[in-house]
Every structure is written in C-alpha cells, then in structure tokens.
Structure 1
C-alpha cells in the first residue's frame, strides 16, 4: 500500500544508546504511561487528537507518542525488541508482522477481544483476518486500509483528447497492453513534441513519459507497480494467503506481465531504471515529467497538495474481466514485554474503535478500516473537490489482492528485490525470475 514503501515519516521509542523525543502528547498526571510508536508525520495530528480523547476518558492512563522516519522506525524497533525496551504499542506493517508473531514478540488479542465483545464485522471485509497468525490467533485490530489506482494529470489528458470516461474503463492484457497501453503511448511525448504512437517518435529523447516507473516493486510485492496487472490475469503471489508456503514469481503469467511492463521502458513510454532511481514519482507527476503514475491511496493528499490539476482512475480491467488492486492495511501491535498489557490493550482497542477512526477520517490522510469511518473520509475528500471513489470501488465492488503474508518476509523481499531490479535494469532476462522464485521457495524447504 507505502518509493514502493509507504512514503511516510515514522515513530520509534527510546532504546539503549538512543534518545527519542516524544512528540505531541506529553505524559500528564496519570499513573500509567503507554508509549505508542508510529510513522507518518501527516497522521500524527489525528492520533494526537485520539490520544487526548482517550486520556480524558481514561485519566489513569497517559499516552506518549514517539514518531520517526520509516527506515529508522524499523531499525530502532528491532533494536528495542532485542534490548527488551520496545514501545508498549506500535504501528505494525504486514511486511514485518510475520517476524514479530513467529518470534513471540507481540501479544495475541483473542482473550481481550472475546472479553470485551469487540465486533470485528465493522471493519472492511478481510482486513481483520490479515492479522491472524499461523497459530490461528489474532494479533491486531485493523486501523486503516489502502488501495492502488492511477493518478494522472488532467490537463495533459485533456490536451491529448483522452476523456475521464476512457480512463475509468481502461483494459489491459500482457500481449499488446490493451487500451491502457494505447493511452500510455499517446500521453508520451518526445522533445520534438511527437507522441509515442506517432511516426517519428524518438524514444531516446523523451520529455514526458506516459507512465512513471517507481522502483522495481520488489520491496513491496509490486503493490503500487505491477501487482494490479499480474493479479488481473488470475495470478496469485502465493499458494495460500495468509501463511502460504510457496511463491509463484516464476509462473508464466507473472513473467508475461513483467515482460510487458519492462517493454514500456524499451518503447520509451516509461523511464529506464537509471532515470527513475532515487527520483520521487509524485514530484515527477507534479513537474509534468510524466502524465500518469500508479500509487496508493495514502498519497492522495500529497498529489492534490500541489498545483497539479490531478485526477484518479481505477486500475485497468485485465484478462480475467476484472480490475484488481492489492489491498493492505495496518494494525497496532502490543509488545509482548510490556509491563502494562491491560492498559496497552485499552489503547489498542480505542485505536480500533469507531470513535478514534472517525477522528482519523476527519483528517482524511488515510482511509480508516471501519467502513462507516471510511465513508466519512471519502466525504471529507469530496468536500475538497477530490473524488477518491476509484480507491473505494476497488475495496467495496471489485476483487482485491491481499498483501502476501508468509514466514521469512525479509529474506523473501531481499531475493525478490534483487531479481526484479536485475530484470528492470536490463541485467537479466525476464525468465530469470524462475531462478528468483526457486531461491525464495528454498526458504520454505521447497
């Protein structure tokens, strides 16, 4: 949902040898202080408000929020686990969840959920089940969800004669790219003003790309890059989800998808690996260097916060006859070593409640996991003239692809990233992904 990662700033708690400044919520007069780590500077105000509301209702508990940038968040959290000084509660991501749960570093919530009669049906379909461990126990309550769609420059599309109706009904296939590739080609313009579908187009001297490539997708299972195309062929990344025991990155359907995606670079419709490396895709869209970019709902505020006349379209309809988006969701986990498990649970329960998620919705940075609150966020965007229905359509009316959850997540990501970067940089052929997949599946004894 996240670069391929969520582009957010992150939180972390103090551990041995490191001093972290508590942000926004200072301990008051309560008898118990719960530390809460999160990433996302843009989400901090919403959770400050939730913490203040929670403290008023629970005067014996104080919430201290610690917030840091993405990379430092995870490295510090890992160190906190090792040094037994992790935060009481922290925002969790599905790429990290398998490690915590298989190492018994977070608490199962089943007894608390049953005791307090927490209604799991209020969440968007499937989100709660993402946080079930291999032991069948639940380790989190959903806090938000995200989907993937196409951000585009409305002015460029109007100039090219492409309508919003066309954008909402794009089709794709791995053979010729369908009407989706037709649009990508037409929106690509070289330095001489020649479009990608016109005679004389110079693919080596492109001024505006039809579609931007944001990394290889290896670090996020292609969430914002290619997962929507591959899944629309009927392909799935693992044998089962969650807790599959083999990956399918060597399948022919996947190879065909990546061959098409890589082909956009060869045709000059998408930047090369070298041209996009280290470059922010949203900046390129705002600067007019690309007409379209696929990315997650969490980037809506960033895209529409520029001078760009932006629009959003759903992913294209694939060979399966359906459009697909990978759907990811975050949760809040309780550190197994917390000295205050009951108070930590009360905070986690509140974070997963309608009361807090409506506050998050009103700030409309992300879509809350509770359906009722998600509609509040949708309306808040609409009040600003932003139509986010393509994201909501993916979650409520179309099939979705869940983020893969398996053991060995870090090693899987490492192998997939190396394999995909080699392919997208032209160092290895697409069929080398068979070897990449074999390397990944060896982690599971396959």
Structure 2
C-alpha cells in the first residue's frame, strides 16, 4: 500500500509540472521588458513557464525556417507583416479568430490600422504588440552652423521638381571639404565632408524608410487594395520621386548610393557624415545610445498632396500551427497583447506599444532619457498607410530591390526600370495560387 501511495504521489507530482511555452524574438533591446512580462505572467499562471530565446534579424528568420522544417519551432514568435503571408499560405500559423471570439477580447483597444494587417479571409494571424512610424533625425549642431532653425526643420515642404524648401535645407546642410555649402559659389560636389541628407538602402518593395513617404505624399499608392493581385509601381509619381532621390547624389547632396549602401545612413549620421536621415521609430534607442552630439527628431516634409505621409507598421505575436501547446500559447499571446504587458513595455521606452494611450507613456520615458520623439507621434496622426500585403512577397522584394537600386545608383531612369519590374511583379501575382487555409 505504501508503495502504491508513493507511486500515486509521484504521478501527481509529474502531472503538476508546468507546461513550457517557447517564445522567440529578434530585438535584444526589448528582452528586459519581455522577461518582466514573462515573470509577471508566470506568477499569475503557475501552470505555465515561458522560455524566451532571441536571435538577430537575419538569424531569426533562418532559425524559424529550420524550426518549421524540423518540427521544433517556438510555440509563439514575433511576426512581421512582410513575412507572415508566406507562413499563412503554407499553413504554419494558427487562426486566432476562434480564440478571440471565445474569450471576448476587446479589439477596440488597439491603435487603429494595426489589426487589419494581420487579417485575411476572416482569419486573424497575430495580435498587435507595437507600432512604428518614420521621421527625420537631424544633427542640431550642424543645423545651427548652417543657420537652419528648428522651426524651419519642422515645416519643410517637398516636391519632385526642385525639392522645395526641403532640398533648400539639404543644400545648406551639405558642406564640401573646403567648408563651402551647396548653396554657395564654388561648392565642390566631388569632395563632400558632410552630406545634407542620406538614405542607406533601396528599401525593396515597401521603401518604408527610404522613399515611400515621399512617394505617398506625392500621390502614389502601392496597390488598389490589400492582397490585390496587382501593384502600381509603374506610377509616374513614384518614378519622379526616385529620380529626384537619385539626383541628390549627382549634386553631392547625398553620398553615392554604393557608398551609402555599404555604410548605412544611420552610421553616417552618427559619424557626422550626414546631417539628416530618415529613420523608423524602432531606432530611437540606437540614436540615444550612439549620438555624442545634440540631435532631434522632426516630422517628414509635406508633399505635393498637401500632407505628410508615413507608413504605420506594426509587429504581432503569432502561434505556430505545429505547437503542441496551443491553448497555453494562446494564453501567453493574449497576455502579450494585454494592457498589463504592454504597460511594462511602455515603461522601458524602446518601442510604442499597440494599445491606445501607451505610446505617450513610452514617449515620456524617452524624453527623460534625452530623446525628443514627439515628431514620431505626430507622424502617426498624419496621413498613414499600411505596408502592402501580397503573396510571394520575398520574390517581389527581390524584383523591386534590384530595380530601385539600379535607379539610385544611376544605371537606369526610374520610368523604364519600374515599368519592367512592375510587369514582372504583376505576372508573378496573377499566376499565384489562392492562399491555403491554415491549420487551427
């Protein structure tokens, strides 16, 4: 009897062991916030344990792919709008809609525009965790030396014909090796010490940081509608935007594209080689930690439409369809998307949480650390647009990256290059098969 009692007690102990939910993310700066969320969650849910792993951006997606193939992927992972369509089409993501309906989750708590990106055909593939916009980072010391005021920086206007007041500011910020500015006689465009404006890459199919805000404020749109089997990259308004950007390096106002591509716009800014760069809000901590000079964020310029424009993008947490602990994974995802966890994230001031009102809390933390990010919140109140949604995004990315690089490097004019690339993109989409229903 004693032996039997011992066996029963042992069995009870074994069944009482917490279930482990594996969670993977790529941003190491956010790790402390999510470790705190995990600790809080485990205290409230003693039957669950959260095991967090982290890998850098490139390694992250490779590790996920290997995990899907090897049947060892994390139960829950941070997902990106540019990646999830392929995963959903291949049945790798759990549809969260039934869980949301069952538990009566309040979807109105999220910043407008974030949730629909993760929906398709009535299915929900992720719950919003944060959002981002794009602004301009400006070296204030260099601006003062050029006689450019903060008020001017905050009210710049742009057009693709002569660049507007935005290009006039760029000219004043650009200095050659002899100390002459681009708006002064004798400026040497071949020997530039500080470029007034710099992008660091072609931006691929979205151009989120590099060109989309210019193009959209010029009237461009990517697609007739999300998931449409047609893109509009052959729009003349995009062509003239990219031709204008390409012309900056020819005039010495930006570095040659190949040089900038290898260095990166952000690194050139930190090194004092670029006075103004467009960057996403996810870079707030980078500049706060790296810049050894006074700088600020200012809003993007007003375009020919009379509006500023910025992509409003957002990440989400998704559940792997192969998870053996889907119910436990859902409890963790629901907590990640809750005010409790996102308030912890706001307190770390690294990103803007998805729940309404918490971005302002994150901004207050950033301000205390010396980063004035009000311009990024302003851009969220301007004309915003979602990332384009399409199947075969990886192939579209490569096609558009190649075409736009050829324009920015001066090898082709934008009109013909974009028309040829757009034809290939639309041909690819029109022969694509409808998305498969995901596993639940």
Could you tell me how far apart the structure 2 residues matched to 1:297 and 1:384 are? 15
1:43 is paired with a residue whose SS is helix
Contiguous gaps of at least 5 residues in structure 1: 1-28
| Offset of residue 78 of structure 1 | 1.1
More helix, by proportion:
2
CA contact (8 A) 2:243 2:407 kept: no
Select the residue among 245, 264, 267 that pairs with 2:248: 264
Q: Deviations over 1:22-58 (max 9, x none)?
A: xxxxxxx852000001001101111111011111110
- Corresponding residue for 2:49? 62
| Offset of residue 386 of structure 1 | 2.2
Q: Does residue 1:79 correspond to 2:79, yes or no?
A: no
- Corresponding residue for 1:142? 128
Could you tell me how far apart the structure 2 residues matched to 1:160 and 1:439 are? 45
- Corresponding residue for 1:299? 283
- Corresponding residue for 1:253? 237
Could you tell me how far apart the structure 1 residues matched to 2:249 and 2:271 are? 20
The within-5 A match list for 1:24-39 is 30-39=17-26
Could you tell me how far apart the structure 1 residues matched to 2:57 and 2:370 are? 30
Q: Deviations over 1:156-195 (max 9, x none)?
A: 1111111111111110011111100000111000001111
Could you tell me how far apart the structure 1 residues matched to 2:81 and 2:107 are? 19
Normalised TM-score (structure 1): 0.91
Q: Does residue 1:406 correspond to 2:393, yes or no?
A: no
Could you tell me how far apart the structure 1 residues matched to 2:99 and 2:195 are? 52
Q: Does residue 1:229 correspond to 2:243, yes or no?
A: no
Could you tell me how far apart the structure 2 residues matched to 1:267 and 1:298 are? 31
Q: Does residue 1:105 correspond to 2:92, yes or no?
A: yes
| Offset of residue 301 of structure 1 | 1.1
Could you tell me how far apart the structure 2 residues matched to 1:81 and 1:125 are? 32
| Offset of residue 136 of structure 1 | 2.1
Q: Deviations over 1:213-269 (max 9, x none)?
A: 211111x6110001000000121111212x121111111011011011111111110
Could you tell me how far apart the structure 2 residues matched to 1:30 and 1:245 are? 49
Could you tell me how far apart the structure 1 residues matched to 2:345 and 2:20 are? 22
Q: Does residue 1:201 correspond to 2:201, yes or no?
A: no
Could you tell me how far apart the structure 2 residues matched to 1:35 and 1:318 are? 45
2:344 is paired with a residue whose SS is helix
2:78 is paired with a residue whose SS is strand
- Corresponding residue for 1:173? 159
For the pair shown, which has the larger CA radius of gyration, 1 or 2?
A: 2
Could you tell me how far apart the structure 2 residues matched to 1:184 and 1:77 are? 42
Q: Does residue 1:184 correspond to 2:170, yes or no?
A: yes
Residue correspondences, number: 414
CA RMSD, 1 decimal: 1.2
- Corresponding residue for 1:315? 300
Could you tell me how far apart the structure 2 residues matched to 1:429 and 1:232 are? 21
CA contact (8 A) 1:239 1:245 kept: no
1:199 is paired with a residue whose SS is coil
2:123 is paired with a residue whose SS is coil
Could you tell me how far apart the structure 2 residues matched to 1:129 and 1:30 are? 38
- Corresponding residue for 1:284? 268
| Offset of residue 375 of structure 1 | 1.5
Could you tell me how far apart the structure 1 residues matched to 2:261 and 2:358 are? 37
Could you tell me how far apart the structure 1 residues matched to 2:43 and 2:187 are? 64
CA contact (8 A) 1:304 1:310 kept: no
Could you tell me how far apart the structure 2 residues matched to 1:437 and 1:272 are? 25
- Corresponding residue for 2:438? none
Q: Does residue 1:445 correspond to 2:427, yes or no?
A: no
Q: Does residue 1:125 correspond to 2:109, yes or no?
A: no
Could you tell me how far apart the structure 1 residues matched to 2:232 and 2:418 are? 10
| Offset of residue 280 of structure 1 | 3.2
Deviation beyond 4 Å, 4+ runs, structure 1? none
| Offset of residue 117 of structure 1 | 1.2
Contiguous gaps of at least 5 residues in structure 2: 1-15, 432-440
CA contact (8 A) 2:138 2:297 kept: yes
- Corresponding residue for 2:8? none
The within-5 A match list for 1:333-348 is 333-348=318-333
Normalised TM-score (structure 2): 0.92
